[in-house]
Structure 1
Amino acid sequence: MTTIAILKNTIVIDTTTLPEPKLLQLLNVLYDTRSVTRAAEQLGQSQPTISIWLGRLREQLHDPLFVRTPAGMAPTPRADALIGPCREVLESLRRLTTHEPEFNPATAQRRFRICVSDASHITLLPRVLEHLRKAAPGIRLEAARIDGNTERTLESGEADLAVGFVPWLGGGMYQQVLFPQDWVCLSSPKHPRIGPTLDLNRYCAEGHVQITAGTGQKLLEAALTRQAIDRRIILELSGFLGLGAIIGTTDLIATLPRHIGETLAAMHDLEVHGCPVAIDGFSVKQHWHARYHHDSGNRWLRGLMLELFKLQS
């Protein structure tokens, strides 16, 4: 027997014994039409079939549900009580079987949260925002840090994407390569001892600015350790804010992933040199949780990131 109860205005349905959807549709249509003939027409069935369905529905719900009167098939009190929950179930089934509408960036009003590195504030976000202001003016973008909570926020939906070098993300995640990264060095164009090229001896002799944050920096430190290269660190920075101005006004150099390096060089008119130290490269990827793989908005955002940054060098 189907059990339908109302607890604190919440409909609770025992779906293990729920009548078939076609029987619930019959209850709904017959309640409105009060006619077996018209119900058969609306449901595209013969009158004998409708009579059989009604018999099954009466048997399952242990009530006549509708009785013949001069005015038509009148619902019993049991039918009156069940019609509301019946329509709730039919609406839930409709939502389950209805495809999610495509995300329309031109009209959407939605906030997206992207976990990014400090460097991405300079390299990725300006380009993303430029696109959004033109193509998706109703979109609000929030930048969050990549940290130990990133996996949890992606799983919970608090964040939509993580973009960067995040090798520790665990199972349940999708990932897609956006572009590869190697390493470059930056110097002032007026540096007194560095010309068009930077060799290893000059690299070791010069003073350096070290960026302490970021997963990529661990690759740099590992490479220096393997090759027994001891840099002369003059300044440590926790991020890239101010780095371009510092390099441009001093004789210090910095070793950076290519994307942030070339971006800062263009902003501050700096020299870009091939790095004389062999450092492992890495790929910048976008990551998202499997729970949101089919979300139309998430799909659109991933497609946008791919369009803007795929195979960028």
Structure 2
Amino acid sequence: MTALPEPLPDRMPDAMPDLKLLRLFDVLYGTRSVTRAAEQLGQSQPTVSIWLGRLREQLGDPLFVRTPSGMQPTPRADALIGPTRSILESLRRLAAQDDAFDPATARRRLRICMTDASHITLLPPLLARVRAEAPGVQLAATRMDGDTAQALASGEADLAVGYAPWLETGIHQQTLFQQDWVCLASPTHPRLARRRNLNMDLSLDLYQAEPHVTIAAGTGAHLLDAALARAGVVRTVQLELPSFLGLAPIISATDLLATLPRQIGETLATLGGLKVFDCPVPVETFPVRQHWHARYHQDPGNQWLRGLMRELFRA
């Protein structure tokens, strides 16, 4: 007698992780940080910790172990990440339904990796255009770092914009514009205010004599350091900041100089009423590019976003 096939279960097994836990696993594997995973998922850190606890219980493995260099995956996590990402990609394709992308009616979250400088210079005009042309599209800006390539490959990010020479394998790129370097000073700087009013350049001697503020992780900072070393210029650095946040009011209220890429420099000068000088040290220019993964080269939403970036910012 031929055996009858067993009926399909009415529901999935209780131990099967739900979608949010699979997404957490993918993001945490890429970031190695509960805090950064929470930022990318738009959740609080305690919530993400609770989700991770559930996932560990369901899979019967710690999955990630805390170390001085971050949350490192266990061998079981290494074995599961490939199948997990395949599942997530299949679900994304299933949810897409229609390949067409109509900005006026689209409901989608577009994620862009950006530098701190781009948050100030590129994001405001981009947001204005997106709100005007695609009111149902939500933008999410995340940091540009060593995990950006994986974020683009997995679809966790749609685009990366900035100076990122390490993005190569499988990544398309398009140059938007070149950046040179400028110096910012207070409009009431005791030794520079009159010089700017008379349209006089900032001399190299005066540049070396003045105190400076630097951005530790500024875009292209290594290019500036190399140029100063080649020219034998030694600056007196009295303040180091982790980002451009707060730079404009500090310059406005002190006699400190800041040397930074032109676009962020001129934007901060406009916002804070600062003086702009050409940098007296010849510093190598660098390209600001948009980057996307080959897997999403034909994605209509990705193409629309790239076209908008090209229209707004390409020189």
Q: In structure 1, what is the equivalent of residue 275 of structure 2?
A: 271
How much does 1:170 deviate? Answer: 2.2
Question: In the alignment, residue 245 of structure 2 is paired with which amino acid?
Answer: L
Work out whether residues 219 and 261 of structure 2, in 8 Å CA contact, stay in contact via their aligned partners in 1: no
How much does 1:102 deviate? Answer: 3.0
| SS of equivalent to 1:225 | helix
How much does 1:214 deviate? Answer: 3.2
| SS of equivalent to 1:280 | coil
1:118-197 counterparts in 2 under 5 A? Answer: 118-194=116-192, 195-196=195-196, 197=201
Q: In structure 2, what is the equivalent of residue 295 of structure 1?
A: 299
Label 1:280 to 1:204 Cα distance change in 2 as closer, same or farther (>3 A).
Answer: same
Label 1:7 to 1:130 Cα distance change in 2 as closer, same or farther (>3 A).
Answer: farther
1:10-89 counterparts in 2 under 5 A? Answer: none
Label 1:233 to 1:104 Cα distance change in 2 as closer, same or farther (>3 A).
Answer: same
| SS of equivalent to 2:298 | coil
| SS of equivalent to 1:119 | helix
Q: Distance in 2 between matches of 1:165 and 1:7?
A: 56
Aligned pair partner of 2:256 in 252, 259, 268: 252
Q: Distance in 2 between matches of 1:8 and 1:126?
A: 52
Q: Distance in 1 between matches of 2:139 and 2:7?
A: 40
| SS of equivalent to 1:162 | strand
Structure ID, larger Rg: 1
Q: Distance in 1 between matches of 2:219 and 2:246?
A: 20
Q: In structure 1, what is the equivalent of residue 221 of structure 2?
A: 217
TM-score by length of 1: 0.67
Alignment length (residue pairs) = 220
How much does 1:100 deviate? Answer: 5.6
| SS of equivalent to 2:116 | coil
Work out whether residues 117 and 219 of structure 2, in 8 Å CA contact, stay in contact via their aligned partners in 1: no
Q: In structure 2, what is the equivalent of residue 50 of structure 1?
A: none
Label 1:6 to 1:184 Cα distance change in 2 as closer, same or farther (>3 A).
Answer: farther
Q: Distance in 2 between matches of 1:291 and 1:215?
A: 27
TM-score by length of 2: 0.67
Q: What is the root-mean-square deviation of aligned Cα atoms in Å?
A: 2.0
Label 1:8 to 1:161 Cα distance change in 2 as closer, same or farther (>3 A).
Answer: farther
Q: Distance in 2 between matches of 1:206 and 1:260?
A: 21
Structure 1: gaps of 5 or more residues? 10-94
> CA deviation digits over 1:248-269, x for unaligned, max 9?
1111110010000000000011
Structure 2: gaps of 5 or more residues? 10-92
Q: Distance in 1 between matches of 2:149 and 2:262?
A: 26
Q: Distance in 2 between matches of 1:143 and 1:218?
A: 24
How much does 1:246 deviate? Answer: 0.8
Work out whether residues 215 and 243 of structure 2, in 8 Å CA contact, stay in contact via their aligned partners in 1: yes
> CA deviation digits over 1:248-297, x for unaligned, max 9?
11111100100000000000111110000010000100000000000000
Q: Distance in 1 between matches of 2:158 and 2:6?
A: 36
Work out whether residues 185 and 275 of structure 1, in 8 Å CA contact, stay in contact via their aligned partners in 2: yes
Work out whether residues 116 and 162 of structure 1, in 8 Å CA contact, stay in contact via their aligned partners in 2: yes
Identity of aligned residues (%): 59
Does 2:301 match 1:284? no
Q: In structure 2, what is the equivalent of residue 87 of structure 1?
A: none
How much does 1:133 deviate? Answer: 1.5
Aligned pair partner of 1:200 in 183, 199, 204: 204
Does 2:314 match 1:310? yes
| SS of equivalent to 1:247 | helix
Work out whether residues 206 and 252 of structure 1, in 8 Å CA contact, stay in contact via their aligned partners in 2: yes
Work out whether residues 181 and 259 of structure 2, in 8 Å CA contact, stay in contact via their aligned partners in 1: yes
